[in-house]
Structure 1
Amino acid sequence: MNGIEKLEAEENEKMEFDEKGFFVITVKDEIIVEHYLNVQKEGDLEVETGKLNKVITGESAKAICDTIVREGLVSRLDHAAYLGRELQKAEIALKNDFDYEQCESIEL
């Protein structure tokens, strides 16, 4: 393609933790996103997870993504991309009364 590099898409094999924390996404009457901080023990390289920091609710994947970015809750681009995919699935599930489970495909 005239000097333009063409790349074959491939998934990352290794997940890396986001220093800003992680998210648990559920769908009930709205999308509920819980943000948890990563808490590292003093002198320990192992990450202890699980301190609830914020809860974001809404019906729009875009509005929730915008809130996450505005609040500075992600530091990694791959994490932000993952959240965008998951939140879009959650919005589809909410609008179509489908079951939603984080990290799983939606059965259409």
Structure 2
Amino acid sequence: MTQAVFNPVAFDDKLSNRFIELDPSGYFIIYVDRASRLICAEHYTNTINEKGLACDPETGEPLPCGGELKRRPTKTFKGRTAKELCIEVFEKPETCCVSRLDHAAYLGREFVRAEQCLLSDREYVQD
């Protein structure tokens, strides 16, 4: 009997396709600012409709997953490392805008990925 070989990429892809309950406190767009050598996280508010979709709080329309974002962030966080950014986003009560632990865990993972890309000059694409 042969043992199946663990494929971490396929496993990660499978986990990325699970159902995720959205955070009613909003969502983040994460990017790397190479000129400033910073990891940036823009926070946007949203509402969640009866189908579980994130909607623009002003129009009530579902937010598109792709394309150009035409909204202003409520806050922009910046850090030189994932740890610094996590402290800015999660540990300051006056700026914390995350209400779900799974959302916080996801953001932490993404901040680490963004830091790795920043340090290795690779392109960062948010998962």
TM interval, shorter chain, is: 0.7 to 0.9
Residue 51 (structure 1) shift: 5.0
Matched-pair contact (CA < 8 Å) for 1:18–1:79: yes
Q: TM-score, normalised by structure 1?
A: 0.73
Q: Does the aligned pair in 1 maintain the 2:29–2:42 contact within 8 Å?
A: yes
Higher strand share: 1
1:61-100 paired onto structure 2 within 5 Å: 61-69=82-90, 70=92, 71-100=95-124
Q: Tell me the percent identity.
A: 40
Indicate which of 18, 25, 47 corresponds to 2:23.
Answer: 18
**What stretches of structure 2 of length at least 5 have no aligned partner?**
1-13, 57-62, 64-70
Q: What is the distance in 1 between the residues matched to 2:73 and 2:47?
A: 11
Q: Deviations over 1:15-66 (max 9, x none)?
A: 11101100000112221110001146xxx64632555200111211011111
1:25/1:31 CA distance change after superposition, 3 Å? same
Conserved? CA contact 1:21–1:38, under 8 Å: yes
Stretches of 4+ aligned residues off by more than 6 angstroms: none
Q: How many residue pairs get matched?
A: 91
Give the Cα–Cα distance (whole angstroms) in 2 for the partners of residues 93 and 25 of structure 1.
12
Q: What residue ranges of structure 1 are gaps of 5+ in the alignment?
A: 1-9, 104-108
DSSP 3-state at the match of 1:83? helix
What is the RMSD of the two structures over their aligned residues, measured on CA atoms? 2.2
If the length of structure 2 is used for normalisation, what is the TM-score? 0.63
Match of 2:76 among 45, 52, 55: 55
